[in-house]
Each structure stands twice: as C-alpha cells, then as structure tokens.
Amino acid sequence: MEGKESCVDPPKVNGEVDGNIKENAEKVKEQANKCFKDKNYEEAIRLYTEAITINSESAVYFANRSFAQLRMENYGYALEDASKAIAIDKKYIKGYYRRASAYMTLGKFKQALRDFEAVVKVRPHDKDAKLKYTECSKIVKQKAFEKAIACDDQKKPVSETVSLDSMSVESTYEGPRIPDGGIDESFMKDLIQWFKDQKRLHKRYAYQMLLEIKDILSKLPSLVDVTVEKDNKLTVCGDIHGQYYDLCHIFEINNLPSKENPYLFNGDFVDRGSWSVEVILILFGYKILFPQHFHMVRGNHETDNMNQMYGFEGEVKEKYGGNMMGLFSEVFNWLPLAYCVNGKVLVMHGGLCEQDGVTLNDLRQIERNRQPPESGNMCDLLWSDPQLIKGRGTSKRGVSCQFGPDVTQKFLQDNGLDYIIRSHEVKQEGYESQHNGKCVTIFSAPNYCDQMGNKGAFITLRPPDLKPQFTQFQAVEHPKMQPMAYANSFMRMPGMF
C-alpha cells in the first residue's frame, strides 16, 4: 500500500541507530521536505517512506509523512503515522498535533481533544497548543449540547416549515427571478452570470429551488438506471468542491446542459471551495430544468459532518442564514447513491463494497434518506477507494475499505457490467484508469484547493460501447477568495493542514 514502510530495523551500535544510517535517512527526508514544499505530496510520501525504510526509529519521519497524508486526504494513514510517531517519542508534540488533525477530519472530536490535552500537559505555556485545545473543546461541548437538546421525533423537517409566500422579493432586487412557469434556460443563463459577478440569488428563489429539487430527488431510487440513446452522449464529471469558476469553464468547453447535452455529476459538489452555494444551486437548477437529462450522485461531502468541518455549513449560514442548512441536509439525504448507464457502466462517488456478493438490486434497496452509517453498502459507495493489490485492504481514509482488481472483476461479472466510474480522489491528470481499465476515476476540480496543481477532467460516453473519452482542462482564474474560507475555525488554524 502507498506510504507503508519496511519493518526491517536499522543497524544499531550500542543501542543507537548507526550514524551513517541516520545521515542517509536525513538526506532523503530533506528531499521529501522539498517535495512537500513544492506541493508534490505523492512524491513526498514516497520519499518519507524511503527515509523510514532506512531509519524506522525517527518520530519526525512518521509525523512528516502523516502531514503529507493529510494533504492527500488519506486520513486513516495519517492517523496511523501520527500514532507511530507518538509511540517512538511520547513527548514529540507534532505527533499529537497530526493525530488530532486526523481525528478531527474523521469526526472523532473526543479523541482529538485527548491528544490536545496531552500536548497542553507537556507544554502548558504553549499558546498555539492552548488555542487548539480550546477550539477543540468548544466543538466537543457543542456536539454534546446538540445531542442533549435533540428531539428528532418532535422536530418538523425544515421543508415543512418553509413558507414561500411569506418571503417577499424587494423591488430593489435586480437579480434573476424564477418565472411563474418555473425555471427556464434563460433564468439559468442569467443565474450563471449573476453568480460570476459574485452576487446572491434572493433567498426566496433559493428556498423555492431547494423545495422543488427535494420533491424530484425523493421520487428516485437509490440506484438510478439511465439510458443514453444512439447518436447521443453523456458527460460525466467528478468532484467540483465549490470551485464555481471551474464549473463554468466545464460548461464553456462542453456547452451548457440540455436535453441534447446531458450531464452526470458524481458527488462532492460542495465543501473546501468557497463558492459551494453557487455550485450547488446551479446544479440543482439544471436538475429541475432537465430532470431526465441531468443527474447527480451523492458524495461523502454531501453529509452533515463534512459540511460542518469543511465549509459548506459556514458558507450557507453566511449567505442565507442557518435555517437553510437544515433544508440542504434534507435534500442531500435524497441524492441517489449510484447510476447505471445502459446496463453497462456503474457510476458511484467512492467505490465498491466491503462485502462480496453485492448486487445492483441490493444497491437499489438501500434506504438512503439519512446520514450515512459508519459501515455497510451506503457507506462504501460514498467512501471506498481502489487499490493495486488483490483483495481488500484497510481504508487509507479511516472509513470503509480499499478494493483490488479481483474485487472489481468479480463485481462486474456478477452484475453483467463492463466497468465502473468513480471519483473521490484528486488525480494529477484529472483522471486515472485502474484495474485493467475496469475502474476509472474522474476528478473535475483542477488545482484542487488552489494548491495541488492538478488538471481537471470529464468523461464523454457514447453508445454503443460507452468507451470513456477524457477531456482535460486547467484551472481558471477566480476572485481573490481562499479555499476553506468558511470552514470550521479549527480547520483553518496554522499547522493543522
């Protein structure tokens, strides 16, 4: 697996690692540090692994690799490396910082708090440690309070409390207005430009769109079968992550959605990027306009925990107030978990399941109107990743699993499929074909988080063979707004990521 070191102990003299061994390992570590600084995190991980292979008794190497794993969103690996750093040197503060960061990304706030408590005990006058401890403590207390006051059986869904008639549109509002006959192509074109100009859609129309899309999505099965007719095509896009101006660039390259130009967006529309509201409203608008020709799959970031940490909830509250976030959550719960194209290609955000023998009918039967569980088919469709070796492995993310080429082949044979398309992972070229071409990853957020330097890509599928055709594109300029601008304050702290 990526980032795993040899278990061979380095040569020692009088119980200490040989000086030449240390020197060689340090040289490799310095190369890794340079790669990290250059944002080449995959190569940094490889070099840190090489340094660890030379000298596996350095807490620094494990902590540094943990940091690089965090940048690659390999939270499970990051947690494991930070724990190894702590096991080597229990007083190594960065090890606790890294492990706390990994715990936070996995929503394990109490465990993160325990690590910061350990840091504060060792460094009681460390201002940075105190700040992180205080912020983490606030999150834990907030979660406990929310749990204490929760009355889910009595609380009405936001969708049942919204009154559009009570939301008047001021005469001073100059933005797009939904016509009496409903959303049309003219409204969508105006909305795209309005958002490009960094202006907000009136909340009355935003609520109207959310109520309408909820009604549309709730009538769909968890696995949707879609047919692409002869002489037509389907464009499949991967993660967008709030990168609105790159979404607009896709539409410029490949034309706007229409009945003749259908799209499928494969999850992770929101979070991290700071125009997630604009992205999701445009996508919902086109789903409303072309319900049979515009498709959306739920990603692991269309969930409450992710939205609380990575910015979407903060962005919605900033732009529209807190009540709307509850409605977004309801809508996200109804997003389908997978699509099957012409009975040949299965599209899901994450990947295949941890258990053998899963059928397409099993996926159709998933009760999806909820927050994803920590295990099971729903969790796997959102979170799993492919691996190069056969069988299944522990998840590098700390959630679900990794699946090998044999797992993919058996699933395809059992269900009469040609291959799968998934997203969920940044790829330097915007896409990657694995498992002998049977597992294709597509990622459509170029220069992810303004730091990864990757290309974006989308797939064009044409009958009858549906062979994937890839179109790559570079990131475009956007207004000066940092990614994660609306994320939880803890996530924006120096040294966390």
Shortest CA distance to 215 belongs to which of 182, 242, 251? 182
CATH 3.40.50.1980 fits 159-492, yes or no: no
For residue 269, give Cα distances in angstroms to 64, 139, 211, 413, 492. 30, 25, 18, 31, 20
pLDDT tens per residue, range 449-466 = 998 999 999 999 999 999
The one-letter amino acid code at 432 reads E
* CB within 8 Å of 155: residues ≥ 6 apart: none
Contacts of 299 (CB under 8 A, 6+ apart): 239, 266, 267, 268, 269, 349, 350, 382, 423, 424
Q: Which residue is catalytic, options 301, 349, 424, 478?
A: 301
Domain range annotation of the chain: 12-149, 159-492
* pLDDT tens-digit readout, 220-259: 999 999 999 999 999 999 999 999 999 999 999 999 999 9
149-172: pLDDT as tens digits: 765 556 789 999 999 999 999 999
Pairing of β 234-237 and β 223-226: unpaired
Q: Which CATH class is domain 12-149?
A: mainly alpha
**pLDDT of 12-70, one tens digit each?**
655 566 778 999 999 999 999 999 998 889 999 999 999 999 999 999 999 999 999 99
CB contact at 8 A, 337 and 366:
yes
Residue 125 annotated in active site: no
469, pLDDT greater than 80: yes
pLDDT for the residue 494: 56
Q: Note if the bond before 11 is cis, omega within 30 degrees.
A: no
Q: Which two tokens stand for residue 472?
A: 């790559």
pLDDT bracket for residue 6 (50, 70, 90): very low
Return all residues near 150 (Cβ < 8 A) that are at least 6 apart: none
Give backbone dihedrals phi and psi of 41, rounded to 5 degrees, phi first: -70, -35
What are the pLDDT digits (tens) for 276-292? 999 999 999 999 999 99
pLDDT in tens, 321-372: 879 999 999 999 999 999 999 999 999 999 999 999 999 999 999 999 999 9
User: What is the CB-side half-sphere exposure of residue 28 using CA atoms within 13 A?
Assistant: 22
Cα 128–130–136 angle (5° rounding)?
A: 105
Neighbour count for residue 46 (Cβ, 10 Å): 18
Each residue's pLDDT tens digit, 76-103? 999 999 999 999 999 898 899 899 989 9
3-state secondary structure of 296: strand
